[in-house]
Amino acid sequence: MSQIVLITGASRGIGAATALQAARAGYAVAVNYTANSLAADEVVRQIRQGGGTAITVQADVADESQVLAMFDKVDAKLGRLTALVNNAGVVDRTERVDGMSVARLKRMFDINVIGTMVCAREAVKRMSTRYGGTGGAIVNVSSAAARLGGPGQYVDYAAAKGAVDTFTLGLAKEVAAEGIRVNAVRPGIIETDIHASGGLPDRARTMAPQVPMQRAGSADEVAQSIVWLLGSGSSYTTGALLDIAGGR
């Protein structure tokens, strides 16, 4: 049976690395992006150059209608989904809670939490034996911030990722008997451009001394764990929150 994975936010960073590694593991890959079509096209080009199958699917995961259209396109172009990686996420400029606007908080939770839940909902409808599926795997990309709190920088982001952790645990138990495994990875300080989008392009380098391993991690290191959680090597693993944080 063909393995088909949808990876949200897959045009850059951890998502792009996961797309490339999943393709090498034999998955047909749907590369989701919000706005940067050129970056998504490049990921697909690399997958196809290596002999894999991939398509791009544009959608803002905070918009339900776009999410529904994205899943319909995956159905039509690749077939019935067997794996989902909820990777799309945002940070914002560093700010204390007493300076955060409601608009910022809504954006943070619409993308990082509600988007994750809606994508998972649609994946369950395709994977679950309850709906005629053959099972599958969901991996949510959380963050070590969920247990560290992000004080003085990203308390809202940390809180959103804490919600992702709780959602992972609950959904895993809810669909375990329907052939679906649900797990999460919690990356620590990783060298990706998400730090620049939050106004701190050198954050990974400056925070590396706080990590017991004395370095930031790479997107590829996180991707390896995600692909393992998707595959048969983790067949008895569900409801796990896997820290990939260098001991931090």
Domain ranges of the chain: 4-244
Query: What's the pLDDT at 192?
Result: 77
3-class secondary structure, 136: strand
Other beta carbons within 10 angstroms of residue 81's beta carbon come to: 24
Q: Is 236 a catalytic residue?
A: no
Is beta strand 83-86 parallel, antiparallel or unpaired with respect to 136-141? parallel
Reported as a single tens digit per residue, the pLDDT across 177-211 is 999 999 999 999 999 766 555 566 677 778 788 89
Please name the helix (run of DSSP H) or strand (run of DSSP E) that holds residue 57, with its range, or none.
strand 54-58
Of 3.20.20.10, 3.40.190.10, 2.40.30.10, 3.40.50.720, the CATH number of 4-244 is 3.40.50.720
Q: Which amino acid is at 245?
A: A
Catalytic residue among 131, 154, 157, 236: 157
Q: Tell me the pLDDT band of 45, cut-offs 50, 70 and 90.
A: very high
What is the Rg, in whole angstroms, of the alpha carbon atoms belonging to the chain? 17
DSSP calls for 163-191: HHHHHHHHHHHHHGGGTEEEEEEEE-SB-
Between the two ends of the chain, the Cα-to-Cα distance in Å is: 39
Cβ density class 90-129: b for 16+ within 10 Å, e for less: bbbeebeeeeeeeeeeeebbbbbbbbbebbbebbbebbbe
Reported as a single tens digit per residue, the pLDDT across 1-27 is 689 999 999 999 999 999 999 999 999
d(CA 161, CA 159): 5
Structure tokens of 29? 């890959």
Query: What's the pLDDT at 195?
Result: 54
Reported as a single tens digit per residue, the pLDDT across 72-93 is 999 999 999 999 999 999 999 9
Handedness of CA 159, 160, 164, 170 (dihedral sign): positive
Residues in the chain: 248
Please tell me what DSSP assigns to residue 201: T
Reported as a single tens digit per residue, the pLDDT across 126-176 is 999 999 999 999 999 999 999 999 999 999 999 999 999 999 999 999 999
